[in-house]
């Protein structure tokens, strides 16, 4: 059974977005590592973050529901117990990769698995650096989940990144946090730095020197009361929507605007878009409000150091090529091929299906402005990928009643996307 949505003329008004997924995962993990009682206020409750919560619960950490969040009661990372079953990371790469780092120095057996999509994603990228630190990890076909982590004697090391990934960086830092001495990780390009900023808030000794992050272990984390800001990557869908729907004017409030996440705004400015950003506070994870109006914008080529900063927004940026004055080309983004779906192939498939012109490269794609009408009988596919499903919903509403195979994947990061969108919708011109 396919789904489709009525045509929307424009989007107007003010909204908030669900809490940040990356920060919620980390708030659950770091609170679990701290001995005592932490409070996480406004966490994202989605399939991905619930997987992390269940995993920490499986090793003996208690989560108690309080108003607008959780009280997390833990014996600290030295007090984790053995999980009595396989830990299911569901669809969440962040859960699988961060927990591999967290559990590998624990001198116990752990086994991790995930859903059909996660079991196809590479885990050797975390096994490699952790093995260089002495970890003992067994992967299916030496690359995939299910994984078994075995007891080992790990030691601090100086690791050089071979892939730009905040998840791999975080795995190494979380292992290093439990080892006696200095563990360093040098990035190729800077990726999101929530692990560094938040571990500092929890009292860890973390030092940053350009692209090199060092942690001095073993850490004694101090329980925190932590507020999770809105997710910039979820806000991006409203920002993109403002550019897709004529006459739109949208304000998005209380969004996390950590500069390692907001490259999408830099890209938009490069494309000539005027977007306003006002700061609310300047904490380690700053927040602000974003205001954007529908306006014409140019195309361009996006590649290089910016790519890790916009990694989750690239499918949306590419799709905006349909609405730009010139084509939008993305390169150096081969990482997209190993996300929740092969996001290069997913976007290419849907652009072609809707009647647009697109070129596919091994490391990116080029989307041309729509010239002729669209194919009204298109059936867009979501590939069980939350971000592709949300783009499809926007396209269906933009052109009116375009069919989509299914959209249930939105539960992974933005369960109430349809409700929040509805609130802004203007149906009649
Ligand atoms: C994430 C890092 C990114 C991103 C993912 C969340 C994180 O993955 O795509 O949605 O929370 O660390 P990579 O680090 O694999 O690029």
Ligand 1 atom index nearest CA of 166: 14
pLDDT at 79: 98
Residue 398's pLDDT is 97
Walk me through the domains of the chain, giving residue ranges and CATH numbers: 8-19+229-427 (3.65.10.10), 21-227 (3.65.10.10)
Backbone φ, ψ for residue 12 (5° rounding): -140, 140
Please say if the pLDDT value at position 428 is more than 80.
Answer: no
pLDDT digits over 192-216, tens only?
999 999 999 999 999 999 999 999 9
Tell me the catalytic residues.
312
pLDDT, tens digit, 9 for 90 and up, residues 163-182? 999 999 999 999 999 999 99
Residues 336-358 have a mean pLDDT of 98
Phi-psi region of 13 (alpha: psi -120 to 50; beta: other; left: phi over 0): left
Residue 260: the pLDDT is 97
| Residue with CA closest to ligand 1 atom 11 | 22
What is the average pLDDT score of the chain? 97
Which atom of ligand 1 lies closest to the CA of 22?
A: 11
Task: For 33-90, write each residue's pLDDT tens digit.
Answer: 999 999 999 999 999 999 999 999 999 999 999 999 999 999 999 999 999 999 999 9
pLDDT value at residue 284: 87
C-alpha 95 – ligand 1 centre gap (Å)? 10
Ligand 1, CB within 6 Å, residue ranges:
22, 93-94, 165-167, 170, 191-192, 311-312, 335
Q: Where are the alpha helices (DSSP H) in 134-231?
A: 166-176, 194-201
Predicted structure pTM score: 0.98
Query: Per-residue pLDDT tens for 365-412?
Result: 999 999 988 999 999 999 999 999 999 999 999 999 899 999 999 999
Mean pLDDT of the 88-117 span: 98
Give CA separation, 420 vs 234, 266, 382, 410, 413, in Å.
11, 25, 20, 13, 13
Find the 312 Cα to ligand 1 centroid distance in Å: 8
- Residues 235-260: what's their mean pLDDT? 97
- In 34-193, beta strands by DSSP E: 35-41, 62-66, 69-75, 87-88, 110-113, 136-140, 144-150, 158-160, 181-186
- Quickly state the pLDDT bin for 245 (edges 50, 70, 90): very high
Q: What is the pLDDT of residue 99?
A: 98
Question: How far is the C-alpha of 243 from the C-alpha of 275, rounded, in Å?
Answer: 11
């Amino acid at each position: 059974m396919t789904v489709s949505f009525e045509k929307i003329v424009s989007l107007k008004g003010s909204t908030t977005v669900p809490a940040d997924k990356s920060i919620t995962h980390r708030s659950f993990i770091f609170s679990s590592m701290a001995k005592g009682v932490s409070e996480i206020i406004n966490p994202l409750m989605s399939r991905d973050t619930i997987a992390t919560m269940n995993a920490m619960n499986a090793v003996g950490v208690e989560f108690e529901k309080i108003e607008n969040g959780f009280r997390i009661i833990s014996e600290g990372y030295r007090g984790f117990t053995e999980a009595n079953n396989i830990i299911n990371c569901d669809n969440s790469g962040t859960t699988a990769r961060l927990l591999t780092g967290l559990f590998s120095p624990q001198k116990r057996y752990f086994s991790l698995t995930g859903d059909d999509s996660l079991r196809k994603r590479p885990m050797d990228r975390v096994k490699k650096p952790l093995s260089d630190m002495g970890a003992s990890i067994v992967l299916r076909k030496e690359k995939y989940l299910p994984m078994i982590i075995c007891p080992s004697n790990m030691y601090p090391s100086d690791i050089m990144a071979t892939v730009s990934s905040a998840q791999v960086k975080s795995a190494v830092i979380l292992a290093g946090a439990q080892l006696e001495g200095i563990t360093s990780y040098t990035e190729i390009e800077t990726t999101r730095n929530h692990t560094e900023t938040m571990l500092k808030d929890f009292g860890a000794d973390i030092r940053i020197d350009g692209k090199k992050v060092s942690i001095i272990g073993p850490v004694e984390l101090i329980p925190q009361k932590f507020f999770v800001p809105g997710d910039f990557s979820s806000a991006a869908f409203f920002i993109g929507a403002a550019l897709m729907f004529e006459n739109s004017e949208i304000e998005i409030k209380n969004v996390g605007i950590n500069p390692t996440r907001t490259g999408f705004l830099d890209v938009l400015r490069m494309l000539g878009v005027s977007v306003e950003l006002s700061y609310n506070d300047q904490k380690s994870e700053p927040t602000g409000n974003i205001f954007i109006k529908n306006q014409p914008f140019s195309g361009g080529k996006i590649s290089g150091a910016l790519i890790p900063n916009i990694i989750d927004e690239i499918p949306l940026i590419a799709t905006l090529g349909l609405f730009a004055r010139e084509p939008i080309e993305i390169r150096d983004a081969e990482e997209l091929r190993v996300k929740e779906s092969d996001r290069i192939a997913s976007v290419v498939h849907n652009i072609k299906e809707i009647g647009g012109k697109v070129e596919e490269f091994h490391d990116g794609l080029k989307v041309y402005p729509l010239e002729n009408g669209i194919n009204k009988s298109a059936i867009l596919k979501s590939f069980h990928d939350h971000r592709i499903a949300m783009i499809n919903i926007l396209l269906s509403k933009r052109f009116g009643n375009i069919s989509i195979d299914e959209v249930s994947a939105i539960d992974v990061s933005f369960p109430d996307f349809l409700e929040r969108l509805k609130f802004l919708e203007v149906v009649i011109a």
